[in-house]
Amino acid sequence: MSTSRRDFLKNTFKTTLASALPLSAFKMLSPAELKASTGDSSIRWIFLVDTQKCVGCGLCVKACKLENEVPYDPPITRTWVERYVVLKNGQTHIKTPLGGNAFIESPFGGRDGYTDSKIEGRDIPPGQIAKGFFVPKLCNQCDKPDCLKAAEDGAVYRRPDGIIMIDPVKAKGQKQITTACPYRVITWNEALDSIAARLLERRRRKGGRS
């Protein structure tokens, strides 16, 4: 798809203007207010994370466990944060999809944050590091979710507003739902013999908190 110079400059100006506005200039709408303002009952909800602002504090991991009643201790987690450290010297722990060299770690799912400069117990001189960043991992609310295809008896379903939901009662014993997820964000609770948590928590939307 091609873009004319005029369209490019116009879109750039709009983006620059929007980014310059203070947060107070925007009104955060509740689900009911948004539907009323658009007159569209088929609004699709999504969840966005600005990875450029993630500092690896781990608070989102803790909040997810608390909100969704996910056991606090690993290996059960449905939201986690990974730390990537890209090296200059070719030494590698894992090959990234783009072919670069990087160390990747996520101790306790990043739950306790990254306060130690050591990477997997190793001291790496700052001069050998090209860059480092954090990547939060959570349900991507796929347009064509593999978890829905793998589930039986309606254990995974899509609501009219687009949100993918998992019924932990119907999902009991259906471990194939977790392995179907290509992003590994659906975790299994062995004690419950079911999925560890719901997705895009229903209570927050009904309470006007999201």
**Which residues, 6 or more positions from 185, have their beta carbon under 8 angstroms from its beta carbon?**
78, 79, 137, 138, 139, 140
Strands (E), 106-197: 129-137, 156-158, 164-166, 188-189, 194-195
| Lookup: tokens for 70 | 């996910």
In whole angstroms, what is the distance from residue 6 CA to residue 12 CA?
Answer: 10
Amino acid in position 152: E
pLDDT value of position 210:
45
Mean pLDDT, to the nearest integer, of 72-83?
81
Residue 108, number of CB atoms within 10 A of its CB: 15
User: Which has more confidence, 195 or 31?
Assistant: 195
Strands 101-105, 80-87: pairing kind: antiparallel
**Domains within the chain, CATH numbers bracketed:** 51-137 (no CATH), 146-200 (3.30.70.20)
| Lookup: tokens for 122 | 């190793």
Q: Cα torsion for 39, 45, 51, 55, to the nearest 10°? A: 100
* pLDDT band, residue 195 (cuts 50/70/90): confident
**First and final C-alpha spacing in the chain:** 34
If you search the block for the tokens 């997820």, which residue do you land on? 181
User: Which has more confidence, 32 or 49?
Assistant: 49
Query: What's the mean pLDDT when you consider all of the chain?
Result: 75
Residue 140 pLDDT exceeds 50: yes
DSSP string, 54-106: -----HHHHHHHHHHT--SSTT--SSEEEEEEEESSS--SEE-TTS-EEEEE-
Mean pLDDT, to the nearest integer, of 174-178?
94
pLDDT value of position 118:
80
User: Which has more confidence, 12 or 139?
Assistant: 139
